[in-house]
Structure 1
């Protein structure tokens, strides 16, 4: 039994010694200092401020529309006759060329009949004119000689006296004459001609179609001149001038065109508080519906700089670098575009960031690197 007690006592002492050793190790580990992380210094791009004249350019987008457009409607009824060229979208016509011809044989016969009646009516009064009004007989006789049923009815001779006017009117000649002229005017509507050189953009009928009065037949545009409608803030409405040159940019291929301000709307849109301006442009490469950006030069701002919008902080501040440490200064933004902002009250020689820095704050230690792109500009 004594031996057993001795073994248990030794084991107890060993357990106590191990516990003390483990505790001392834990305490020693707690007092071990954590490694100090290396301080990271971010590299920033900067530029030196040089105030100067900054042109204020307003950018506005829109779709091109033909300046001259005609919607083709029929004022008469009949069958669409085939022409020398097909009436199809994309078909070109010269000024005065027939675009649409409607069968008018039946109506033409009616007009010819009315002309014949007028001719016969004037012929019937010639004996009376010879006897009662010999002084006007020669001019009415010359009128009959020049009267051709196949051509447009010529104007009636000028009636110099009231007696002659009463006599001619009393025989119904004036009424018949104006009826014939009215029919001739209507007959001309059976043929639609191109008011200017252009192209058909929409064709709603084809040859052989029965055309009805009032029916829309298609659209015809002038492809030599287009207009771009843009909306400009009312604050710049007094800066827009008629005839001012405007640069237009195709956003798809960056191709540029030159236009001019052709019209400025006198009303301000109540909802958007903008004013509409119309820019005229001519170029054979342009097509209706093309999406272009217009850059309107409104004015020039002196003693100002232009930077990326991402560099302007909340509260109208920007970051500057002083002795490799970031700081913030107040600025006065005077114009915003989609990507840029024009600032004033930035002292010359100030070193400012030229590219945004993630996580930047005032007092941050930075490594300065000149922005070569900005320097070259």
Structure 2
């Protein structure tokens, strides 16, 4: 009897606990927010339409020489000729400096005498070997001595060439670092030559505009020193790595000219059209969700926000060109996307 009483008590306790839990669950569910699937979300929309997106951007940079090099000799010694001055123009191959080469010439002369002796010995040995008067090994040694001497002469002639220092290209002598009579070592700079027949205008372009530039593109250039005078520039390089501010270097080659000559260090500016078609299907920049590589937009269709993949082209400060994914006349959401999912009912405000 006592055992039955305990069992009934346990069953009653379990039933009471289950009832209590069920009651608490109902209370908690009433407190939890349950979204109304039929409730419409307020959004702001804009129409995808054909717009004139052409715009001009001005970028400022500075000119640098097309080529500039420090002249360094490949030989050492006393400078016996230095026919250059700072500011002087030089042509390619023109003499810059001449080093003392007397000792090298003496060595070449001595080796040539030695070579002549070996060649005479060779002729004698060739006759004697045929008559078995001397061993053939003497002939072989003489032939090797000739080859070794000829190699030494070639080496000294190369050293002799290195005592003559010439300009690798035409340009201006912008610095002369030694004087006639100086003793220089191999690789010591003696002068600097700068080529400004053409100059490079280097400008830093922000990320949003870098796609407007292509290698080979022709761009008009203005300068502060010659107002209202335009120079034709050609894009020579478009940087592939930006700095911390997301600016990319663009290098534009400009041919110098006798009228209105340019100098390295001058400022230049470019005015570049973004090269978009006059009329392009576009949407406001705010309509794009995701990244530019995987762009999407919400399009309002039958009162619902439908998420669509799009392909974007070039952009200006306000709009993105859309090349694929939507059509002209579509209503795209430009604000309120944070509250949307694909298929969410919406009302345009």
TM-score range, shorter chain: 0.5 to 0.7
Aligned to 2:248: 275
Counterpart of 1:224 in 2: which secondary structure?
A: strand
Moved over 6 A (4+): none
- For 2:196, what is the secondary structure of its paired residue? coil
> TM-score of the superposition, structure 1-length normalised?
0.52
1:99 corresponding residue in structure 2: 96
- Residue 205 of structure 2 corresponds to which residue in structure 1? 232
- CA distance in 2 between partners of 1:168 and 1:275 (Å): 66
Given that 1:76 and 1:213 are in contact with CA atoms closer than 8 Å, whether structure 2 keeps it comes out as: yes
CA shift in 2, pair 1:55/1:119, >3 Å = farther
Q: Identify which of 269, 286, 294 aligns with 2:270.
A: 294
CA pair 56-186 structure 1, distance change in 2 beyond 3 A: farther
Which structure 1 segments of 5+ residues have no match?
Answer: 1-50, 134-162, 305-333, 337-341, 345-377
Structure-to-structure mapping, 1:130-279, within 5 angstroms = 167=140, 171-254=144-227, 255-265=229-239, 267-279=240-252
- Aligned equivalents of 1:116 and 1:129: distance in 2? 20
The SS at the match of 2:160 is helix
Report SS of the residue matched to 2:274. Answer: strand
- Please report how far the alpha carbon of residue 63 of structure 1 lies from its aligned counterpart in structure 2 after TM superposition: 2.2
TM superposition shift of 1:270: 4.6
Q: CA deviation at 1:169?
A: 8.6
1:79-118 → structure 2 map (5 Å cutoff): 79-83=78-82, 85=83, 87-118=84-115
Q: Supply the distance in 2 between the matched residues of 1:129 and 1:298 (Cα, whole angstroms).
A: 81
Q: CA offset at residue 118 of structure 1?
A: 2.9
- Scaled by the length of structure 2, the TM-score of the pair is 0.56
User: What do residues 273-302 of structure 1 show as CA deviations (whole Å, max 9, x unaligned)?
Assistant: 233222111122122222211233332364
The Cα of 1:88 is off from its aligned counterpart by: 1.9
Unmatched runs of 5 consecutive residues or more in structure 2:
1-49, 131-135, 281-314, 321-349
1:224 shift after superposition: 1.5
Question: 1:256, 1:54 → 2: CA distance?
Answer: 25
- Give the deviation of 1:195 after TM superposition: 1.9
- Secondary structure in 1 matching 2:190: strand
- Determine if contact 1:81/1:102 at 8 Å carries over to the other structure: yes
| Partners of 2:65 and 2:198 within 8 A in 1 | yes
Once the two structures are TM-superposed, the CA of residue 242 in structure 1 deviates from its matched residue by 1.8
Distance (whole Å) between structure 2 residues aligned to residue 88 and residue 115 of structure 1: 38
Aligned-residue Cα RMSD (Å) equals: 3.1
Q: For the structure 1 residues 127 and 272, does the alpha-carbon distance in structure 2 shift closer, same or farther, using more than 3 Å as the test?
A: farther
Return closer, same or farther for 1:248/1:180 CA change in 2, 3 Å cut-off.
same
Q: How many residues align?
A: 226
SS at match of 2:114: helix
Shift of 1:72: 0.6
Computing the radius of gyration from Cα coordinates, the structure with the larger value is 1
